[in-house]
Structure 1
């Protein structure tokens, strides 16, 4: 049975006359990378600030490992590691000295655990260099190492890929997936990089105007995309091909690039290809055009841009 580390129960946040978060109920399972998506101003950072106690909850509750953020903050936050905005480090100290300094604040963190997290985020070669010599990606990884020192059950990252180059994003993605898989940590990530969310996350929640629109696994998104795919056909005689496809009971349109576009999955693509070839029409190319998570997101949010 799936165990949820986070339960948001009808969480609402109002400031003055404005409702920022409106009755948000959401479960985050253990051992998964969970993406939190929404347009600018949807309420992502407000939700994260309530999760870590930086902002009060107007009504409802957030339970972390069964403990209420509103009612028993110390017990609830004990299971959390978080980076909200950028990780703050002492740049004149080495990465290792930063981790040791932080470890002294929390009982029970051994030198072995420090070594373990350094290996987990792949910083062994540079951990004794000063943080001021680190790239942005290395600082993010050091921030993750600091956030997981105390073996949290939940790691919360607010826009962790901001400012990272493609290599840094890929490295961080690999570390987060490994963290969820090997340590059983639930990783809760807000991001506007939808293509990254598809690669990084096990499931995603989408919010708009403070309300939950949908929660789906990335696998479900891919299945939906395949179900609603378009087939793009490159042929020598477009009018003849369109007439043949119409005779088979399907509409065929020509797109701006000159492809014949037909709705269907890969089985349908094979059938159409065989029918066209049998009719003597040359087929130069067949490919499926699936809806990305971004396309699905824009449909659900009425075309609002991600942020």
Structure 2
């Protein structure tokens, strides 16, 4: 998958968040979007995920040279962010079944495998509203990383994770995201240390 930005700019009301962003993002490479809190990292990531519109420039999505229609972009991208809500009335098993109904998981992994991979197999029949904040973040990582999509978008992915959770996150990236397009929005090297390219959002102010 390839995402191309050409002179992209975003504003809210009269305030420009960033302008003139020109970058190519390609499968097999891992990118970090860095910058201080409030600098626009999450906004740029949401543009790359097709969730936020731009005010200037062009943003195109393609797979093997074939353009993806805007209404189909969501099928090819999985997203993990602290502000995305889980359906907490579901158990983990119920949530993963529901998620799989509109975005299949990587073959050949099933729900039991995924629950064990994020160290939640013991709690897969417990409602998510009974989970700790760290357990909920593992659920978000599970539905994102194991979705069968060529692109994985991660916004501050280690939020609420302890040292063991951060180690698990990096292990999941290494095992299941090697040939995929991965973009991480973060100012914490623990979250993007594996990335081979970096975009400093402050360069576009």
TM-score by length of 2: 0.81
Counterparts in 2 of 1:50 and 1:207: CA distance versus 1, 3 Å: same
Deviation at 1:128, TM superposition (A): 2.9
State the match for 2:18 in structure 1: 21
After alignment, is 116-125 or 9-18 more displaced? 116-125
Counterparts in 2 of 1:111 and 1:91: CA distance versus 1, 3 Å: farther
Structure number, greater radius of gyration:
1
Asked if 2 retains the 8 angstrom alpha-carbon contact of 1:81 and 1:147, the reply is yes
Counterparts in 2 of 1:109 and 1:173: CA distance versus 1, 3 Å: closer
SS of residue in 2 equivalent to 1:161: coil
Asked if 2 retains the 8 angstrom alpha-carbon contact of 1:33 and 1:201, the reply is yes
Asked if 2 retains the 8 angstrom alpha-carbon contact of 1:29 and 1:186, the reply is yes
State the match for 1:204 in structure 2: 198
Asked if 2 retains the 8 angstrom alpha-carbon contact of 1:13 and 1:58, the reply is yes
> Using the alignment, how far apart are the partners of 2:106 and 2:203 within structure 1?
44
State the Cα deviation string for residues 37-80 of structure 1 (Å, max 9, x = none): 012332211112222333211122222335768xx312333210
Q: Specify which structure has the bigger relative contact order, considering alpha-carbon pairs within 8 angstroms and separated by 6 or more residues.
A: 2
> Using the alignment, how far apart are the partners of 2:138 and 2:58 within structure 1?
31
Deviation at 1:100, TM superposition (A): 0.8
> Using the alignment, how far apart are the partners of 2:190 and 2:153 within structure 1?
20
> Using the alignment, how far apart are the partners of 1:32 and 1:123 within structure 2?
29
Gaps of 5+ in 1: 212-307
Counterparts in 2 of 1:60 and 1:119: CA distance versus 1, 3 Å: farther
Asked if 1 retains the 8 angstrom alpha-carbon contact of 2:156 and 2:191, the reply is no
> Using the alignment, how far apart are the partners of 1:176 and 1:110 within structure 2?
14
State the match for 1:58 in structure 2: 55
> Using the alignment, how far apart are the partners of 2:82 and 2:197 within structure 1?
22
Q: Is 1:170 the counterpart of 2:164 in the alignment?
A: no
TM-score by length of 1: 0.57
Asked if 2 retains the 8 angstrom alpha-carbon contact of 1:43 and 1:210, the reply is no
Q: Is 1:73 the counterpart of 2:70 in the alignment?
A: yes
Match of 2:7 among 10, 27, 46: 10
Residues 243-262 of structure 1: matches in 2 within 5 Å? none
Asked if 2 retains the 8 angstrom alpha-carbon contact of 1:37 and 1:190, the reply is yes
Gaps of 5+ in 2: none
Q: Is 1:135 the counterpart of 2:132 in the alignment?
A: yes
Could you say what the CA RMSD is over the residues aligned between the two structures, in angstroms? 2.8
